[in-house]
Structure 1
Amino acid sequence: MNNKIYLSTGELAKMLGITKQNVIYYDKIGLISPVKRDEKEYRYYTLEQADELDSILTFRNLGVSINILKEYLSERNAERCIEILRKQKEKVDIEIQKLDRIRKKIDSRAKLLEQVLTLTDLKKVVYAEQDKESYMVKQCKEDDDKEYMQRFIELCNHSKQLQIDFENPVCNIIKKENLFIRNYKRIEYFGIKIPEDFDCSSIEVLEKPFGIYASTYHQGSYETMYLAYDRLIENIKKDGYRICGHAYETDLLSTLTNADKNEYIKLISIHISKD
């Protein structure tokens, strides 16, 4: 050793607030190697290398990959540094947008569940105008459980790809013709509400029209859904309305939130008009 100051692996690691294993790993992958090794193969680094490794750690903290860093260190200059930083900023912006979508989904679902927990009279029938909504749908062409599950999974997977999952619950859509014959289990479509500004050119869309809807809740297993439908349709007739469109079933509490089927809650809305 001469009078030049050298740092051992441990000293370098302590100075930069990392582990010795980090320093050794960066040597093994060729990112930064010691200028000296003694007869026992102990690594030694210069103070200039400490500064260089600090810059490398800064790039790593910004998310720059090791492969890009290797390439940059072999031809480093201000122009290349600016290029790397700008490309990394683009990646960060995309990640921020993704995280913002996730945050909105979490917030939306949490608010929905909070509203559900405030419900008191689940058997009450409410008549109200509802705005037009667009649903991405998967049609169930056969009336059997395997077909339903397949279409349901297809819709869930597609909605995840399009980043519109979770924010809105999946909706079961029953045609009015089946309501007339009390065939409430015959699902025509599974749907999920899509944002107003969403590009619908590549998906199958069903428009839920603006109008008056009669709504009530069902609590319990899916096997007893007919009780809520019968109650809702009886009230529709009694109050001088007629069914003019589909029924829309929305899961509010289901397998995501409850292990007991008797605690499941669905919102049922039927498009109606005045006789």
Structure 2
Amino acid sequence: MYQTDMLSISAFSKMSDVTRKTLIYYDRIGLFKPAFVADNGYRYYHRSQLDTIGVIHIFKELGMSLEEIRGHLGKRTPASTLELLRKQEEIIQLQIAKLEQTRQMIIMQAENIELSINVNTSHIQVIWQSRIPLLLSCRVHASKKQFPEYLWDDFQLRLQRENAPIGYPNGIIVKKEDLLKRDGDMVSHMFSRMATHFQEKVYMPEGFYLVSYTRADYGDTDKIYPQIFDYIEKKQYVVLGDAYEEYLQDEVSLQNPEEYLVRIMVHIKEPSNDK
């Protein structure tokens, strides 16, 4: 061991970004000891120990206790270190997945608000929509005003499996068969716009959609459907699939629930040019 490879505790603290107080504490509990202690009590560290203190810092950041880290370092072997690193890699991958879903949630909420700022709630339009991946809940057939608790629980579990954070934007689906009965109150699924990794891949079909907006509190959106049904009948549109309801402005951005803004998209057959 060359003298030039030795660092005082102050120099080592600066290079490792670990405080002197912490280094002294690590020494006292037997977690990380200096390479040499002089007769005057001064601690000196070898440059190679920067690798070890770096690993300690990473393990600590990943939630390992000092006791767990000390236990590993006290009997470390290449095999045990490899096993621990692989476990920590899995934890990091999970954290990355959660952060990515959180990022997607923030982007989606921002885009919804941006889109909704200048929406005209009296205007109904037809748009072309490309296929969108969805996360679906279990199937139900229940009124919006008597929303089943188990549906919420089921959907939250599915969101958790996809590492989605609490509050991820979601909506509900009204099935085609209910739309054909002029019934806009019955829910079949909850959904979120999301590419799934751990559950069946489901999509909102590509095609033409009649799009309408209204101000309504949760569970009170059925009031807009008579207007939608009348418009479909007037224009002689053909309902091809389901209706998808999503809140573009909700409690995240508004204080008054009666001002929440919901978008309803009804899958229809391609309109004729003369309609």
- Compute the TM-score of the two structures, normalised by the length of structure 2: 0.71
State the identity as a percent.
19
SS for the counterpart of 1:139 is: coil
Match in the other structure for 1:8: none
Match in the other structure for 1:175: 175
Deviation at 1:265, TM superposition (A): 0.8
Q: Which runs of 5+ in 1 are unaligned?
A: 1-10
Deviation at 1:163, TM superposition (A): 2.8
The question of whether the paired residues in 2 share the 8 Å contact of 1:132 and 1:209 is answered with yes
Q: For 1:212, which of 203, 208, 212 is the aligned residue?
A: 208
Counterparts of 1:129 and 1:75, CA distance in 2: 60
Match in the other structure for 2:5: none
CA deviations 1:64-120 (Å, max 9, x no partner) are 6543465346568xx689958964884586244543443333223322322222x23
- Name the CA shift for 1:84/1:174 in 2 (closer, same or farther; >3 Å): closer
- Pair 1:46 & 2:58 matched: no
Counterparts of 1:207 and 1:101, CA distance in 2: 18
SS for the counterpart of 2:31 is: coil
Match in the other structure for 1:234: 230
* Aligned-pair Cα RMSD in Å: 4.1
Deviation at 1:138, TM superposition (A): 2.1
Alignment of 1:183-194 (within 5 A): 183-194=183-194
Counterparts of 1:190 and 1:97, CA distance in 2: 22
SS for the counterpart of 2:30 is: coil
SS for the counterpart of 2:211 is: strand
- Name the CA shift for 1:100/1:27 in 2 (closer, same or farther; >3 Å): same
- Pair 1:124 & 2:120 matched: no
Counterparts of 1:166 and 1:126, CA distance in 2: 32
- Pair 1:252 & 2:251 matched: no
Counterparts of 1:26 and 1:100, CA distance in 2: 35
SS for the counterpart of 1:22 is: helix
Letter in 2 for 1:236: I
Alignment of 1:1-275 (within 5 A): 12=9, 16-17=13-14, 18-19=18-19, 21-33=21-33, 44-47=41-44, 49=45, 51=47, 54-63=50-59, 65=64, 66=66, 67-68=68-69, 70-72=71-73, 83=82, 87=86, 90=89, 94=93, 95-117=95-117, 119-135=118-134, 136-143=136-143, 147-164=147-164, 169-195=169-195, 198-199=196-197, 202-203=199-200, 207-222=203-218, 224-273=220-269, 274=271
CA deviations 1:114-162 (Å, max 9, x no partner) are 2222x23122111123234453232224447565333023213311321
- Compute the TM-score of the two structures, normalised by the length of structure 1: 0.71
- Name the CA shift for 1:148/1:188 in 2 (closer, same or farther; >3 Å): same
Counterparts of 2:147 and 2:59, CA distance in 1: 44
Count of aligned pairs = 255
- Name the CA shift for 1:87/1:114 in 2 (closer, same or farther; >3 Å): same
Letter in 2 for 1:116: S
